[in-house]
Structure 1
């Protein structure tokens, strides 16, 4: 391990009694501290920049101005910044604050539960856990209702007009809802759906961010059901399909379980009609491609399973991260990338880690100074 103690020349440097060679020793020590910008936070970056800027100013001013008062100010500022930075480096480095997570801490992390937050047109958010079955609440002119099936809608109590609903499902959560036309949508963790409390006009249009499984109701008017995402537009009549479109991920996927859908890229003039078992992928450039899909892998989350297929296990690790709201990093190797198997989603985190260990996946569980759990899969 590198010795991070300041060199003996630092004292002379701050007292303005060092020569050029000794100045160089101090700056060399500073540059070799091994500061990790990838894992640092904003305040650490600011301290680093400010400290180095002050040190460089001291060297420049040493050549131009040697007044005692000016050097006293710079010396004090440089000393404070050096001490402050060294204290941060010693006490607040992300690596130094990580501790082993206990079994009790891991067991306390439960799998995702039925939970969502509704956003009004005013921007106000309402936690749906606060709303009981067959109960309604009044927020200004908006009346929010949860019926006997747990379905939520809201209307303008003065005009009776339908309102635009936005349902947000946070991490470690899942939520199912039925739209006004009878179509059913299950939203995965860290997902959001915007939809009207009642469909009007020819088209039934909703907007999705994240991941959702749709079971679209066929209507007597044969109106089009349209799902808009950042990269795709999906048009259906009556079908079951899955859409995965997380903003942090490069690709958006539409996978057809039954029926027929038409997928269009929002960037390129490209349109594909899917058959059951096919998947349309759109990348950041808008390129749309179609291939056969592993439905068991794609729909595993709707069936209560984490599915490792030996090809896209990195995506499964991301699913685990969202499902339990923990941070996960992994080293790509043959054990964790090529593992094939299934693990139930209804486990507490300690049991999940135990099963992953049985499967040959080595997992280190730590907790940081914010009490946030971090898993490293080796």
Structure 2
């Protein structure tokens, strides 16, 4: 196969225009040693193609390089020809960078990293989640919120697009508690009375006072939330999590993942310093790049050198996975698309590495996963993940 033919097939794959027959031609060619030099040359050209600017994302490219050479990873600027691992693995990595996402699949050495698969046919596709929430006021009344309205809800409470803002007068004396709740398939932002900004992921909530008074600022969250806390050393900011833990901060950026279906409550620090309190004998001080994990039955554990970009990717419009199991991946998809996921047979323990845009339709996301040997049956808003047969 000539360089031009190989480049044409690679570009077709990235544009999602490759036929079944052409895919087989390409895959067969990639496994022929005589195509090694041609392939590496074409990879460099395809990588820099302006039509695929998403491949220039620093995080994405760094992860690809690390996967290709985990012992001594090179930088994204290093020429492709310096890759030291098997050349066909490099080719597979490039192929997996198509379809508005990049996804590297960790599998045993006996199996290739790439496989072509059919895409589930959905009569009525499911749109991605969007900005929507319910605001429950102190008197129990509920106000639906979405991204299409700008309105005044009450004294000092305003909605602007997909954000709720509080501008409560400092002299306010009648303090009540409000709760902002996002459904499955929803997200929302809020600026609290002290100026703290909070992003709520799907199926999450935050309860807070309409004005912060006294010696502390205290809120309670469920689900997942990202905080940018307004500094006020005289009034510490505290977050209560499922009545199991508390995060104490002065001024910082951090993410809390506290979904009940997850194995642990995870608090990840991006900037500043926080203290995680989980009972008298289980406290921890976090520094930037660290994560506190609190299992259902256990004490706080500290993880260091966390990829914080992965943790908060949801806020910036991405699903991002790092050594994530298939159930990990599907739980995120289930919450964002408000679909029910079940499993049939023994599900492979393969781990996923990569990211997918959250503004794609469900069919588009399943199509990306299908290219990584994930098999589905789809019926409306119900998805059955089928056992991995081990075939390619």
TM over 0.5: yes
Classify 1:222/1:375 alpha carbon distance in 2 versus 1 (closer, same or farther; 3 Å): farther
- Aligned mates of 2:263, 2:352 — CA distance in 1: 23
- Aligned mates of 2:156, 2:220 — CA distance in 1: 20
1:308-319 mapped onto 2 (5 Å cutoff): 308-319=321-332
1:128 alignment partner in structure 2: 145
Q: C-alpha displacement at 1:148, in angstroms?
A: 4.7
1:37-186 mapped onto 2 (5 Å cutoff): 102-105=121-124, 107=125, 109-129=126-146, 132-136=149-153, 145-148=157-160, 150-153=163-166, 161-186=174-199
Instruction: State which structure, 1 or 2, has the greater radius of gyration over its C-alpha atoms.
Output: 1
Q: C-alpha displacement at 1:145, in angstroms?
A: 3.4
- Aligned mates of 2:190, 2:131 — CA distance in 1: 11
1:215 alignment partner in structure 2: 228
Q: C-alpha displacement at 1:338, in angstroms?
A: 1.8
Q: C-alpha displacement at 1:229, in angstroms?
A: 0.7
1:84 alignment partner in structure 2: none
Cα contact 1:154–1:165 (8 A) shared by 2: no
1:229 alignment partner in structure 2: 241
Classify 1:329/1:307 alpha carbon distance in 2 versus 1 (closer, same or farther; 3 Å): farther
| 123-132 or 271-280: bigger deviation | 123-132
Classify 1:227/1:287 alpha carbon distance in 2 versus 1 (closer, same or farther; 3 Å): same
2:385 alignment partner in structure 1: 376
Q: C-alpha displacement at 1:102, in angstroms?
A: 4.8
Q: 1:104 aligns to what SS in structure 2? A: coil
Aligned counterpart for 1:255 among listed residues 241, 265, 268? 268
Structure 2: runs of 5 or more not aligned: 1-118, 388-392
How many residue pairs end up in the alignment?
A: 263
| 278-287 or 177-186: bigger deviation | 278-287
2:362 alignment partner in structure 1: 349
Q: C-alpha displacement at 1:291, in angstroms?
A: 1.1
1:340 alignment partner in structure 2: 353
Q: Hey, which of these two has a bigger chunk of helix by percent?
A: 1
Cα contact 1:313–1:338 (8 A) shared by 2: yes
- Aligned mates of 1:374, 1:365 — CA distance in 2: 5
- Aligned mates of 1:148, 1:340 — CA distance in 2: 36
Aligned counterpart for 1:193 among listed residues 189, 192, 206? 206
Structure 1 length-normalised TM: 0.63
Structure 2 length-normalised TM: 0.61
Q: 2:123 aligns to what SS in structure 1? A: helix
**Structure of higher RCO (CA pairs closer than 8 Å, 6+ residues apart):** 2
Q: 1:302 aligns to what SS in structure 2? A: helix
- Aligned mates of 1:286, 1:124 — CA distance in 2: 38
The root-mean-square deviation of aligned C-alpha atoms, in Å, is 2.7
Classify 1:270/1:344 alpha carbon distance in 2 versus 1 (closer, same or farther; 3 Å): same
Cα contact 2:182–2:188 (8 A) shared by 1: yes
